[in-house]
Amino acid sequence: MIGSTGGAAPGGTLASRRPHARNRPGLRRLVHLALRWMLGLTLAATSLGKALDLPGFREVLTTYDLFPGWTLWPIAVAMPVTEGLIALSMLTGRRMWAGIGASLLLHGSFAVILTLELARGVHLENCGCFGVFLARPLKWSTPLEDVLMVAITFGVALSAPRWTGFPHRTMATAATVPTASR
């Protein structure tokens, strides 16, 4: 049309002129889902690998020579449970902010512990990342993988839909916050 600016009609938005545009997932949503699933599937694999042979994973923990003996069984049980809960959170989207916080804490701790072990000169034939089933030696690239997992977790948080709130606040709960009456 002559004289048309190509923008939205007066009183309307561009999306209101094209209703199908509102129904298509945006790039942000696709990135969010891809990162969430990448994190979730990776943690599901690591959790399953550890849980399938808890005695073997406990033995891997002894090679770190970092934890007191009495803590090895609780750690061997808690780690795959924690990873499984984070994976469930990422794959379903439920309690996502709790999963994000737990993932940041878990992978940040792993990166620090693995770096300290390498700095101490500890040589491990199996870092234990996937339990005993996918034995990989501890190398300098191993803590970098956890730094990458931290970055992916930040990506999940930063690409989260704006209406999910932080943490546990939604637009609905924000709208129902009591205000002072006159």
How does residue 163 score in pLDDT terms, banded at 50, 70 and 90?
low
Predicted TM-score of the model (pTM): 0.74
Write down the pLDDT at residue 22.
Answer: 52
- pLDDT above 70 (res 85): yes
What does the pLDDT look like over 138-153, one tens digit per residue?
999 999 999 999 999 9
Residue 15 has pLDDT above 80, yes or no: no
Is the per-residue pLDDT at 84 higher than 70? yes
CA distance 141 to 126: 14
CA dist 131 and 140 (Å) reads 19
Of 9 and 110, the structure prediction assigns the larger pLDDT to 110
What is the per-residue pLDDT for 171?
42
**Taking the CB of residue 43, how many other CB atoms lie within 10 A of it?**
27
d(CA 119, CA 128): 18
**What is the CB neighbour count within 10 angstroms for residue 151?**
12
The residue-averaged pLDDT of 119-123 equals 90
What's the CA gap between 74 and 115, in Å, rounded? 23
Residue at token pair 């916050």: 177
Average of pLDDT values for 27-45?
Answer: 93
Distance separating alpha carbons of residues 53 and 167, to the nearest angstrom: 35
Give me the pLDDT at residue 1, please: 45
Residues of the chain above pLDDT 70, percent: 75
pLDDT at 175 over 50: no
- What is the distance between the alpha carbons of residues 45 and 133, in angstroms, rounded to a whole number? 11
The residue written with tokens 């891809």 in the block is 34
Q: Is 156 exposed, middle or buried (0-12, 13-18, 19+ CB in 10 A)?
A: buried
Phi, psi of 124 (to 5 degrees): -115, 130
Least confident of 48-52, 64-68, 74-78, 109-113: 64-68
Looking at residue 12, its pLDDT comes to 53
Q: Please list the alpha-helical segments (H only) found in 10-95.
A: 14-17, 19-23, 27-51, 54-63, 72-92
Q: Which of 16-20, 62-66, 112-116, 169-173 has the lowest mean pLDDT?
A: 169-173
